[in-house]
Amino acid sequence: MTTLLVIAKEPRPGRVKTRLTPPFMPEEAAALAEAALADTLDVVARTPARRRVLVLDGAPGPWLPPGFEVVAQCAGGLDERLAHAFAGCTGPALLIGMDTPQVTPELLTADFTDCDAYFGPARDGGFWALGLAEPDPALLRGVPMSTPHTGAAQRARLAGLRVRDLPVLRDVDTAEDARAVAKEAPEGRFAGLLERFTAVGPR
C-alpha cells in the first residue's frame, strides 16, 4: 500500500495564509488554514494507506487526528523539504499539501500497478499532489517553487516515467480561491468557517 504524506505548517496567525489578509484578520486566516488542514487530514485518515505521515513545520495541535506519524520538516527551500519528505519513505508514496481541503479519498487512492508516478496540477501553475512508486528525492531538488511554472517544471522532471495525471485542483491562497474551494466541498469545516467569517461582513 501507499504512504500518504501531508506537508503543512502549524496554523498560527501571521505564519500561514497571509494572502488572505485582507479581507480576513490574521487570526481568521490562521483559523481557515487550520480548518483546511483538519479537512485534509480527515480525508487522508479515510483513505487506505500503509502509513499516514504529517510532515510539519511547527507543533501538532488538537486538529491532528489519531493514526498519523508526525515528522519535522527539514531546513531549506520547499524543494528540499519535499525531497526530504520522500526520502523518509520506502515503497510508493503520495504527497499533498494543506491547501486543497476539497480532496477526496478517491483522488488519493493511488494504484501504482501500471504507473510510476502521479501528478496533480494546481490551477495557479503549481501542483497539489505528487506520487512516486519509487521515491527519489532527486526528482524534486532544484525545482523552482512558488512560481507560475512550478508545476510544469516538476512535471518535466517525471519525463521517462509512466505518469498518471490527476484532475486540476485549486489551492487556497486568496479570498477568491477560498470561496471557490468552499463551493466544491460545502460540507467541510473549511466551508463552514468561511461562511461564518463572511457573514460578519467587512472588517
pLDDT band at 49 (very low <50, low <70, confident <90, very high): very high
What pLDDT shows up at residue 199?
80
What pLDDT shows up at residue 30?
98
What pLDDT shows up at residue 196?
96
The domain 3-200 having CATH identifier 3.40.50.2000: the answer here is no
Average pLDDT over residues 107-130: 97
Residue-averaged pLDDT of the chain = 96
Percent of residues, the chain, with pLDDT higher than 70: 98
71-80, long-range: CB < 8 A, 24+ apart: 73/7, 77/145, 78/145, 78/146, 79/140, 79/141, 79/142, 79/143, 79/144, 79/145, 80/141
What pLDDT shows up at residue 147?
95
Q: Which neighbouring-strand residues pair with 3?
A: 51, 93
CB 135 within 8 A of CB 93: yes
Reported as a single tens digit per residue, the pLDDT across 163-176 is 999 999 999 999 99
Taking 60 as the threshold, does the pLDDT of residue 201 lie above it?
Answer: no
Instruction: Kindly report the pTM of this predicted structure.
Output: 0.95
Taking the domains of the chain in order of start, what are their residue ranges? 3-200
Reported as a single tens digit per residue, the pLDDT across 55-84 is 999 999 999 999 999 999 999 999 999 999
